[in-house]
Structure 1
Amino acid sequence: MKKVYLFLLILGIIIRFVIQFVFPAFNGDEISVGNNIKHSGFIELLYPLKFGQSAPPLFLWLQKFFIEILPFSFWINIKVLSFISSILGIILFYVFIKRNSFSPIFLLLFIILLFNPFIINNSLTVKQYTIDLTGIIFLIAWFKTKNFKKYNWAFFLVWSLISNIGLFACCGYLIYDLFSQRSLRNFNAFFDFVKKNALTILAPVPYVVYFFWFMNQEGAVELQAYMVKYWSSSFIPLDSSIFKYLLYTIHGLWIYIFNAFEIWGIFMMILMLSFFLFSNKKQFMFREEILLLFCIVIVHLILNIFHMYPFSDRLYLYIAPFLVLILGSSIATISDFGVIKKHFQKVYVLISVVTLFLYSLYMSGNDNNVYMLYEKLNNLNAKEIYATEKSIETIDSFNEFTDNKFVINKK
């Protein structure tokens, strides 16, 4: 299986390179963020951004650093960080597979993370979502090691400044550790836990200090109000509409994380059922990893209820390893069933191949792709194209982002 996983990893890296640099995709969000970074200095990037955009400070600084030191065009330079992070994420998951002796159960899980178009496209965009995902994968691969237990505060300090999910992960990790060490059994145990994890507890403080400073800057309150309104439909409603919200969210999870082909996405969700039916009856695979990620997701959901952080499509990205590990644990449980055990390997390989084939059918799909829109407009059999004032502004910002590399040949 080692050679199979290595081949899939190399193929995943090649596909990401081709999508990122050979057939580039640009959407409105990354163009707006990119133009902020392009025309702002390091200090200016600490203040509220223009065009209704926001991003963690260290993420913006890293992007600016790559833009300044790399010799390529701006639109290439600004995509390098996302590419590196995306590649690092899948390499880290390969390391996780290696630590689990290249178990065959990882075949479908690795295919999902490597070739799911939603995961690929959102991990390559010029936003911090790719670092959300890579940070989570690093966490599940290393959180059991002695070095992580000793230096996790440094990891969470940096991650919190580069990705908002880093804040949730730090809190979730502490909650997980608090319960796994049974540190709530008495006051002395709790006090020892706090003393032992003091640096980890303090890790988010630099970001918290920055956030309070940021909110006192001109335009910050207006930006926050805009964001709350923009993401309003992604907040969990505390009324009867919560049932509609849950159905919409579950549907989003299976089409984004598992498969956009509805029947196959539902099939994968059904495969997860054995985890929920039997996980409390026996030791299940990836138990510690799943419990840790569960704590992180719970922190996110609590903040979502208070309208402090949205829960929607692109923001599902970091949840992919959580759902994928639940799927793997569930499939491992199913493989022990007497009726299935004999033919499990062949059926599992078939399911994995079908999943990969279905991904290939919509691999080129990229929502809100301005570059593809330009190609479409240039291929229209028309001498003139009429555009609204807003559309012209969007075209101008795209030209600015790409240094006029891609232009419309028509008036």
Structure 2
Amino acid sequence: MATLPESYADTSKVQQKTNKFINQLAFLAIAFGIIIRLAQYISNRSLWGDEAYIALNIVDRSYLELLQPLDYDQAAPPGFLWIEKLAVQLFGNNEYSLRLFPLIAGIVSLLALYQIGKWTVSAIALPISLILFSCLKYPLYYATEVKQYSSDIMVGLLLCLLLIPLRDRILKKSKVFLLGFLGIVAMWFSHTAIFPLGGVELACLITSSPQKRKAIVINRLPAYLIWLIGFALYYLFIISKSIKNESLQSAWSPEYPKSIFDILWLLDSIGRFFHKPLGFVGVADGIAILAFIIGGITLYRSNRINLLILISPILATLTATYLHKYPFRTRLILFLTPYFILIIAEGAAFLLSQLNIAKFNQTKRRNYVGILGVIISCSLILPASFQAGKYLFQPETKYELRPVIAYIKAHQQPNDVLFGDGGGASAQLEYYAGKYGYSKSQYVLGYNDFLKKEEISDQVWSNFQKQFNQLQNQPRVWFLFSGIGLKDKRAEIVEPRLDRIGQKITYFEQPGAFTYLYQLK
């Protein structure tokens, strides 16, 4: 019986041990990502403004009513809203119920990324990509946010898991129609599903064998027709109604290029992507861009098929952006983060693969490149891991109005009234008031201009006074504030203006939110 040469057998054993160690690192990264997400979920922070607005739609509407344009300038796919509605009905109207589906989506995304990484990037890149996806700020944060961005990531990755293995394959008729049906389901759960769905399928077609390509197109034509008809109907009855919202349109308009030749916009938008929604901070931002470029070149040289598959959702999204159909901005493109992360990880992995300590003197140049890989990998991984690790002990908070309202409830007199500012506190107060037993006659929402730094005119004060008259002439009012930068505004703006209408009795503060109790004049 033939035997392997001893040196080859030793190399094989070393390779097996290396692969086992890399795989263990990957599973450790997944476990860490799940633990951090669970820690954030269990911390049960207050709903902030946007979360409260979407929660009010979910709680107050029926399943059919959730198909209509949402109140409070919100937009979300029906599938996401229905799952949220079901969770509230099953587990009660609370933060845990509302954040359960985003949490599950975040965990499923980690597992899906593991498999896609095994298919598309090198062995060393796999744990690097999983560590980054587990720890980077925004993919982590939105896994416990009552918004659809976490499920957008999950749906995109699940579509990749579905489509990549089907490349170069002729399907049975039943599977073709199932493929078409699953594409429609994906669209109903994610506004962005069309980009990985169309992008990855097109990439698989382009890279399939020329002899089979025509046969594959003919074979899958029913699925493509189902996707096109389904998307057209979905766009007509769901998306187009959100597009008509002028507030959303004005918020999105700066994120479109001026023309198809606007290359500066493209470079700027891609560059900003690494800061947000990826979450690299400071010099790590530039290092991540360098790693991304190296990763793209590496994949181009080693496996162009995998490179095209990974960048296809990005290219599809940018095409829609240049057509002014989808904004390329912050959390709206969070679903693209896994594809960027895989390419970044491949760049770091290529540099690391050049390191050979055993033959340092013989391969100095390559080892210097490998040392650069160590520096780059540490610069990307360590800050993100450290920040994510802090969430185990200090989970991230935003605008903690819930404990403020609980404080008011414990210290109020029978006829006290709540008055919420016209920003984030309005949404939060409207959501939490009912949960703490306040009727609509016991709180008032208003004064959007109150926190402006500019001098308030007599006319504006007159308008405020009309709103204050809604307080049913009660002498004691709790003024609630919630939002960004309030701490600086408190002494500079809030107190002086409230002092014009009454006398301060007490004050209570939580992160991102506070309340004043005033005796009105």
1:167 and 1:204 in contact (8 A); partners too: no
Say whether residues 1:28 and 2:45 are aligned partners: no
Say whether residues 1:358 and 2:396 are aligned partners: no
Within 5 Å, give how 1:361-376 maps onto structure 2. 361=387, 369-371=398-400
Residue from 348, 351, 354 that aligns with 1:331: 348
What residue number does 1:39 align with?
60
Residue from 332, 335, 349 that aligns with 1:318: 335
1:119 and 1:317 in contact (8 A); partners too: yes
Return closer, same or farther for 1:399/1:289 CA change in 2, 3 Å cut-off. Answer: farther
Return closer, same or farther for 1:387/1:146 CA change in 2, 3 Å cut-off. Answer: closer
In 1, Cα distance between the equivalents of 2:434 and 2:282? Answer: 36
In 2, Cα distance between the equivalents of 1:20 and 1:401? Answer: 23
What residue number does 2:154 align with?
134
Residues 214-266 of structure 1 deviation map (CA, whole Å, 9 limit, x = unaligned): 478xxx378433322121111122289752x3454233222235553221221
Deviates more, 1:383-392 or 1:91-100: 383-392
Q: CA RMSD in A?
A: 4.0
Structure 1 residue runs without a partner (length 5+): none
Q: CA deviation at 1:135?
A: 2.3
In 2, Cα distance between the equivalents of 1:371 and 1:228? Answer: 29
Within 5 Å, give how 1:47-196 maps onto structure 2. 47-70=68-91, 72-97=92-117, 103-146=123-166, 150=175, 151-181=178-208, 190=214, 193-196=217-220
Identity of aligned residues (%): 16
1:275 and 1:329 in contact (8 A); partners too: yes
Within 5 Å, give how 1:190-339 maps onto structure 2. 190=214, 193-214=217-238, 220=241, 223-238=244-259, 243=264, 245-256=265-276, 259-277=279-297, 280=300, 282-284=301-303, 287-335=304-352, 337=354, 339=364
Q: CA deviation at 1:172?
A: 1.4
DSSP-derived class of the 2:342 partner = helix
Return closer, same or farther for 1:230/1:103 CA change in 2, 3 Å cut-off. Answer: same
2:274 and 2:289 in contact (8 A); partners too: yes
Return closer, same or farther for 1:385/1:192 CA change in 2, 3 Å cut-off. Answer: closer
In 2, Cα distance between the equivalents of 1:400 and 1:270? Answer: 49
In 1, Cα distance between the equivalents of 2:316 and 2:120? Answer: 28
Q: CA deviation at 1:349?
A: 5.9
Higher-RCO chain (CA-CA 8 Å, sequence separation at least 6): 1
Residues 311-351 of structure 1 deviation map (CA, whole Å, 9 limit, x = unaligned): 11102311112112222332344345554654777775665
In 1, Cα distance between the equivalents of 2:242 and 2:146? Answer: 24
Matched residue type, 2:52: I
In 2, Cα distance between the equivalents of 1:198 and 1:73? Answer: 42
Say whether residues 1:393 and 2:417 are aligned partners: no
In 2, Cα distance between the equivalents of 1:232 and 1:366? Answer: 34
1:132 and 1:165 in contact (8 A); partners too: yes
In 2, Cα distance between the equivalents of 1:46 and 1:371? Answer: 30
2:102 and 2:145 in contact (8 A); partners too: yes
Matched residue type, 2:335: Y
DSSP-derived class of the 2:324 partner = coil
Matched residue type, 1:65: L
In 1, Cα distance between the equivalents of 2:435 and 2:271? Answer: 35
Q: CA deviation at 1:191?
A: 7.3
Bigger fraction of residues in strand = 2
Larger Rg: 2
1:256 and 1:313 in contact (8 A); partners too: yes
DSSP-derived class of the 1:108 partner = helix
Return closer, same or farther for 1:171/1:400 CA change in 2, 3 Å cut-off. Answer: farther
Return closer, same or farther for 1:314/1:391 CA change in 2, 3 Å cut-off. Answer: closer
2:299 and 2:306 in contact (8 A); partners too: no
In 1, Cα distance between the equivalents of 2:115 and 2:213? Answer: 34
1:111 and 1:352 in contact (8 A); partners too: no
* Pairs aligned (count): 397
Q: CA deviation at 1:269?
A: 1.3
